[in-house]
Structure 1
Amino acid sequence: MKFYSVDVETANPDQSSICQIGIGLFENGELVDTWKSYIDPEGYFHWRFIDIHGITPKMVRGTPTFPKVYLILRQMFENNIVVHHSPFDRVAFRNVFDKYGLEPFEVNWLDSVQVARKTWDEVDGGYNLANLASYLGIQFQHHDALEDSITCGKILVKAILKIQNGYVVPKFHIKTIFYLPARKNFL
């Protein structure tokens, strides 16, 4: 079983203002590779967003704009399962594709919030990433895109292990395990 986990940080309330992307590649329940990049959002940074993630305009100066990493993302994501935590990241990708007029491609999105709700109905305090990670004993640095994406992937692996009685079964399709509707979307 193979899937990518992804998280983005944005520079301001405009969800197309991606300023950092973090990706984890999981195979058979193990994190096997990562990719992280600052992105020049070609826009302003709102002070509240800087307070949240600590990314400043100086940190993204000279980094690629989103169109420069488009092919890298397409090679990873196209026709693969991509796990995200809540709709924010998926919508951010759709918006940045629209902003730059980039050609969409097919992705099998899976929301780890939906998976968590089906797996741990006893969680107090909601299913936000920090609360869920705390509940599951996962330590991470919140609002770093790579840390958040890895945590998202670990949440999915823990859910699979719980549902499969301690086994990660490579032959099963993740959406079948959790009885989630197939959600093929184009980025």
Structure 2
Amino acid sequence: MLSFLRCGQSEGRKFPSGSFRFVALDVETANHDRASICQIGVACVLPDNSIETWMTYVDPATPTWAFTGLHGISQSTVKGAPSFAEALILLEAPLSGITVYQHSGFDRSAFRAACTALKRDEPVWNWQNSVTIARRAWPELKGNGGHGLASLKRHLGLSFDHHDAEEDARAAAEVVLHAERAKGLEVCFHDA
């Protein structure tokens, strides 16, 4: 049984500290512009495989909200939230030197786009992909729903609210942990 602790929005809360085996990161965007990050969720996996999560809304400073119907986040939700630059300050150092999983390539590309909009380099993190891990662990899902979080939710019996960055980050971390148990540690930490 996996356990997790929610740290909640960053208002008044620091990013979790400690020794993490790896983290999973997920973002939600306001619209089709990948730089329009409006929520960041991080799931930190501790040495005992428990998961501590952290989330912040982000004000993408855009009037265009195309995905509110999908994730429920709107301009009023992010009012008073940090900018991406401010959120990045909280994350950059703690995520350096550890593996950062994303579920697909979207999250890193969103970080890259948001950093480009700020005219700065993206953080040098050890990005890996939990989809690649899932494909290695459960090849039988190819053509049977695939390796997206919705399919893995059914296959692995995961419980999470899809399209919430904190929940999706936790689910991606759980995918990696399930793969470790199913196939062994070596499947998870080779270059993905």
Q: TM-score, normalised by structure 2?
A: 0.83
Number of aligned positions between the proteins: 171
CA gap 1:32/1:120 in 2 versus in 1, 3 angstroms:
closer
- Residue type of the partner of 1:111? N
Deviation at 1:34, TM superposition (A): 1.7
Alignment of 1:1-187 (within 5 A): 2-28=21-47, 30-47=49-66, 49-123=67-141, 124-164=144-184, 174-176=188-190, 180=191
**Structure 2 CA distance for aligned equivalents of residues 54 and 45 of structure 1:** 14
CA-based RMSD: 1.7
Taking the aligned partners of 2:158 and 2:27, their CA distance within structure 1 comes to 19
Residue 76 of structure 1 aligns with an amino acid whose one-letter code is P
Structure 2 unaligned segments of length 5 or more: list them: 1-19
The superposition leaves residues 98-141 of structure 1 with CA deviations (integer Å, 9 ceiling, x where unpaired) of 10123433211110111111110112111111111111000111
Return 5+ residue gaps in structure 1 as ranges: 182-187
Residue 33 of structure 1 aligns to a residue whose secondary structure is strand
Give the alignment's TM-score, normalised by structure 1.
Answer: 0.85
Which structure: greater helix fraction?
A: 1
Q: Distance in 2 between matches of 1:10 and 1:74?
A: 19
Task: State the one-letter code of the partner of 1:11.
Answer: A
Q: Is the contact between residue 176 and residue 188 of structure 2 (CA under 8 Å) also seen in structure 1?
A: no
